[in-house]
Structure 1
Amino acid sequence: MKYIEIKDGKLYREGKPYLLKGFGLGGWLLPEGYMWGLYNKCDRPRVMEKMIETLCGAEYATNFWETYFSAYITREDIKLIADYGFNSVRLPINARHLYTRDENGLILNDKTIRYIDDLITWCKAFDVYVILDMHGAPGGQTGTNIDDSLDDQPSLFIDPVHEQELIALWGMLASRYKDEQAVAAYDLLNEPLPNWFSQYNHKLMPLYQKITAEIRKNDTKHLIVLEGLHWATDFSVFDQMDSEEASDGIVLEFHKYWSNPDEESLASFIEASKRLQAPLFMGEGGENNLDWYTMLFPLYERLNISWSFWSYKKMNCENSPMTFDTPYGWEKIIAWAEQNEAFLKNNGEVQNQSLATDEAQAIFDAFLFNLSHAKTNTRVYNALNRTTPFQMPAEAYDDYRVQRGKKRVLGAEVRMTDPINILFESGRTGAVDYKRYDGAPQPLEENLMVELNENELLIYNFNTDEDNVEVIITFVKNQKNDSEKEKIMTCRIDDLTIKCFANGQSEFRFTFKRKPCALYGEKYNSAHQLIIKCESGILLLDNIKFKRGM
């Protein structure tokens, strides 16, 4: 492997443009309660640790966590990520478990470092890069559960001792990994300072500068990733930075959840990137449905933005690449956590100890068994890669052709600078609600359609490792003028062109047969474009499915 470098505001590897595409390994070294279905009842590592020790005893708890950390991410996970064509992982680290103190200062924790070292070894074997992410800094940088803070305060910015610990930690990590080419970057702080702690905003950039200086004492090769304020969505922290400062291997990171999957929503990040000549990295985004994924993640690549999907693995879900079953009896753990939420957050005593120790241990044993037998959600990988079989909404087009000067009609407020008419099927106008936390499809009132007028065309990129692909284009019936003019559509993929008379049809199906390629053998992945053109009338497009053909 080779170090990733920056040239003219873009990432390069061995002299060629390069994008990082991969997954955040959330839930591993810094578990979050929602990934176990516990949510606010038991929301952060220190609370989860307290629950298991209270229910199961200290000795069991120690053994549980050793097994958990050894099973959550393994060499096979990294192989799977590489096999699906991804090239990076972002590793969230909890500083509370990363170091201890003695009279001479900080000491790295051998067990935690072993997990990091093992991950790097596995990644090197499969040509996958690692981004080290300080997800939970000393004292906490967000004052919320995601940094494992003690009292919901961003104590990193309050207590100078924590600041010095963080600077020292990054210096120690840089000294350890300075010659490790499989490490792509150091992500200095995850999602610092939500806006209700904005009184500390002025401290963030000076802290970034101190950490960077400490890292550069030993390591001048690795990229340094800086995140914006307020869940990494506010780049105002970089307003005083200039391109000379950014030229020191700096990458700018933003996060994106539950919002418009369009270029317009990225404008402030793109502007900062251009001004500073610093590459962009979308360090967290996900926790939504597959349609949102097929629309947004290919957009990042078209815009030359590296990305890391959040999160790779969760319990009982369909919208992360990997999942594991909820263990039998888990509802008793949830009920106990609900009854004892105050105790778990140091505000009272145990209220109900009706769950016997041996029963609790059996439930957590089943948890570990299920974790070690995780399942693949292939549909998520396919959506991110746009690889058959998958489907995408019609508004997920990659390019278009319309008459010069065309103005779009009032409809859904997404992709607003495009002249393509994107409408609500219900007829309403306004913003689109993309908050589908558990991966559920868009509700009927949020369904969109694309109005394609005469001589307009849309282009959709897709990939396949199949020789035969069945394409299904779904229409929305135009109640107003469905019979007024004949609707004619042509579809083209490579050298295949098919005409469709769409009047009265709910969908149109055809099969694309790709040409064999002796160079790659029987099974290979290839990129293609579907071009849909309206030849006559008005077409209302709902979605497009790409299935394995016969």
Structure 2
Amino acid sequence: MTIANRPFVQISGEDFTVGGEKILFRGFGLGSWMNLEHFMIGLPGTDTMIKQAFAEVYGKARAEQFFDRFLLEFMSERDFVFLKKLGVNHLRLPFNYKYFIDDQHPGAYKKEGFNYLDHIVSLCEKYEIYAILDLHSVPGGQNPDWHCDTASGLPLFWEYGALRDTVIGLWGHIAAYYKDQPWIAAYDIVNEPSLVKDAEVFNDFYRKVITEIRKVDGKHIIFVEGNAFTTDFSMIEPVDDPQVAYEFHFYPFVADPAVLTHEMPRSRRKEIFAAAFQELLAIRDKYKRPVWCGELGLVFDQEDIDYQMEIIEDMLDLCEQNDVSWALWTYKDAATMGIVYPGEDTPWRKLTGEIKLEWNQHKEQEKGEALVDYMAATYFKPISAAERYPLQFRMRTIMQAIAVEQILKPRLNNLPWEEAFALPASFRWENCKHWSELETLVRSYTQK
């Protein structure tokens, strides 16, 4: 079947379909590819901070060369051979808006974003694996955390209409480019909104961006995500578009860390997971549209991998039992959450292994909360957990800036350019290992 007459993924009631046949999406996200995430890639800072550090140490031109090589080395045809062997049928492709928009010239779109997305989309087409485009970072930040590349710890995207208008225009531009590509299953408008206060602003953005896409593209599915890192849909109003679906993310241990302990009986963990999952499923019942669990996963540890596979299995079972499409987070990273990761003897892992001795995400979060408590108690009065929650994100952006200056840049200064430029090769398939336990688990679902 040629691409010209290939049917698009569509919505029929509460199902995704292709050519009238139901499809359940099973796959992975491509985290830390076109949007660097510090703990997954092993380097402190946000995407922009990390790239600026490379530019300051090696110069702008060499930094651009470095990240161009990183993006192209990160995923190759060998990876798609493995994905096809796993039996997965889709990849979620997170990207940073900065690959398309220069903040100083927001009206002129850059071409590089399409160059990198096309690299993956063309392989998706060849191996018949659907792509879902995920705007993971927007101007001002759609949530307060590092993974939307915020430098403030504030979700400023929801405060300024001009920022939202920029993204509305960007999605129209992307849709015009990909409108005839059936191996793109959907557009995931904005990853994990959070701390959104104004429901009218929230819904107005979705209405406008959907309208903008539909001016040029009436075929592709559009995913709407909820508030609170897409776990709360109470603000979301119905959308008058038959090809709109809903996406949630499932990390139930964030609210209840005890579920990850060995002391928790598996039966009790399953009960907690099931209750949390049913709350998320309410959006399907409410609007009678299909849902997609666009993220679920764990940080893996060699010493505990069999137990952790039980936890992943419990989460995936809920998706399968409730007829919910899913994407594991993530496919590849520096041995954190990815099924594929560079070996310990690779230059990237050696560098990040040194960095881990001084910095990691968990220390950053703990210290951020402790510093907010210290400031409140020292200069004012102790504050509640609810007050502390948004403030610790702002504290962490300061800590990230310091970590870049004191931990990342000194190491780059001691790393000759030739050695630095060789770092991305660590992510080549031949230099990587993978979790065979997770491979076996995923195949148990995809080969039913």
What displacement does 1:93 show? 1.1
Residue 338 of structure 2 is aligned to residue 320 of structure 1: yes
- Contact kept, 8 Å, 1:167 with 1:211, in 2: the verdict is yes
Seq. identity, %: 23
- Contact kept, 8 Å, 2:168 with 2:209, in 1: the verdict is yes
Deviations 1:489-539 (A, max 9, x none): xxxxxxxxxxxxxxxxxxxxxxxxxxxxxxxxxxxx6x5xxxxxxxxxxxx
The 2-side partners of 1:179 and 1:112 are apart by: 18
| Equivalent residue for 2:427, pick from 364, 367, 371 | 371
What displacement does 1:255 show? 0.3
The 2-side partners of 1:133 and 1:83 are apart by: 24
- Contact kept, 8 Å, 2:252 with 2:276, in 1: the verdict is no
| Equivalent residue for 2:234, pick from 228, 233, 236 | 236
Structure 1: which amino acid aligns with 2:277? L
Instruction: Quickly say closer, same or farther: Cα 1:310–1:329, change in 2 above 3 A.
Output: closer
Residue 47 of structure 2 is aligned to residue 45 of structure 1: yes
Residue 334 of structure 2 is aligned to residue 278 of structure 1: no
Q: Which residue of 2 aligns with 1:3?
A: 8
Instruction: Quickly say closer, same or farther: Cα 1:369–1:102, change in 2 above 3 A.
Output: closer
Q: Which residue of 1 aligns with 2:311?
A: 292
Residue 139 of structure 2 is aligned to residue 134 of structure 1: no
The 1-side partners of 2:26 and 2:358 are apart by: 39
- Contact kept, 8 Å, 1:134 with 1:189, in 2: the verdict is yes
Instruction: State the secondary structure of the residue aligned to 2:203.
Output: helix
The 2-side partners of 1:192 and 1:183 are apart by: 23
Q: Which residue of 1 aligns with 2:40?
A: 35
Instruction: Quickly say closer, same or farther: Cα 1:54–1:220, change in 2 above 3 A.
Output: same
Structure 1: which amino acid aligns with 2:334? M
What displacement does 1:375 show? 2.0
Q: Which residue of 1 aligns with 2:328?
A: 309
Q: With structure 1 as the length reference, what TM-score do the two structures score?
A: 0.63
Q: Which runs of 5+ in 1 are unaligned?
A: 388-462, 464-524, 528-550
What displacement does 1:366 show? 5.2
Number of matched residues? 377
Instruction: State the secondary structure of the residue aligned to 1:236.
Output: coil
What displacement does 1:106 show? 2.5
- Contact kept, 8 Å, 1:134 with 1:188, in 2: the verdict is yes
Structure 1: which amino acid aligns with 2:343? D
Q: Which residue of 2 aligns with 1:151?
A: 152
Instruction: Quickly say closer, same or farther: Cα 1:300–1:78, change in 2 above 3 A.
Output: same
Residue 438 of structure 2 is aligned to residue 380 of structure 1: yes
Deviates more, 1:169-178 or 1:349-358: 349-358
Structure 2: which amino acid aligns with 1:61? A
Q: Which residue of 2 aligns with 1:411?
A: none
The 1-side partners of 2:120 and 2:62 are apart by: 26
Q: Which residue of 2 aligns with 1:12?
A: 17
Instruction: Quickly say closer, same or farther: Cα 1:355–1:154, change in 2 above 3 A.
Output: closer
Q: Which residue of 2 aligns with 1:62?
A: 64
Deviations 1:154-213 (A, max 9, x none): 1211222211100000111111111110111111110002xxx34344421111111011
- Contact kept, 8 Å, 2:28 with 2:331, in 1: the verdict is yes
Structure 2: which amino acid aligns with 1:48? I
What displacement does 1:94 show? 0.2
What displacement does 1:329 show? 4.4
The 1-side partners of 2:15 and 2:178 are apart by: 23
What displacement does 1:31 show? 0.9
Instruction: Quickly say closer, same or farther: Cα 1:344–1:236, change in 2 above 3 A.
Output: closer
The 2-side partners of 1:53 and 1:337 are apart by: 21
Q: Which runs of 5+ in 2 are unaligned?
A: 1-5, 254-268, 300-307, 361-396
Q: Which residue of 2 aligns with 1:86?
A: 88
Instruction: Quickly say closer, same or farther: Cα 1:218–1:356, change in 2 above 3 A.
Output: closer
Instruction: Quickly say closer, same or farther: Cα 1:108–1:354, change in 2 above 3 A.
Output: closer
- Contact kept, 8 Å, 2:38 with 2:45, in 1: the verdict is yes
Instruction: State the secondary structure of the residue aligned to 1:313.
Output: coil
Instruction: Quickly say closer, same or farther: Cα 1:353–1:384, change in 2 above 3 A.
Output: closer
Instruction: State the secondary structure of the residue aligned to 2:128.
Output: coil
Instruction: State the secondary structure of the residue aligned to 2:251.
Output: coil
Q: Which residue of 2 aligns with 1:359?
A: 415
Q: Which residue of 2 aligns with 1:164?
A: 165
Q: Between Structure 1 and Structure 2, whose CA radius of gyration is higher?
A: 1
More helix per residue: 2
Structure 2: which amino acid aligns with 1:32? E
Q: Which residue of 2 aligns with 1:107?
A: 108
Instruction: Quickly say closer, same or farther: Cα 1:350–1:306, change in 2 above 3 A.
Output: closer
Q: Which residue of 1 aligns with 2:181?
A: 180
Q: RMSD value over aligned CA atoms?
A: 2.9
The 1-side partners of 2:117 and 2:433 are apart by: 23
More strand per residue: 1
Deviations 1:125-159 (A, max 9, x none): 11111111110012211122111113222121122
Instruction: Quickly say closer, same or farther: Cα 1:22–1:366, change in 2 above 3 A.
Output: same
Instruction: State the secondary structure of the residue aligned to 2:289.
Output: coil
- Contact kept, 8 Å, 1:11 with 1:19, in 2: the verdict is yes
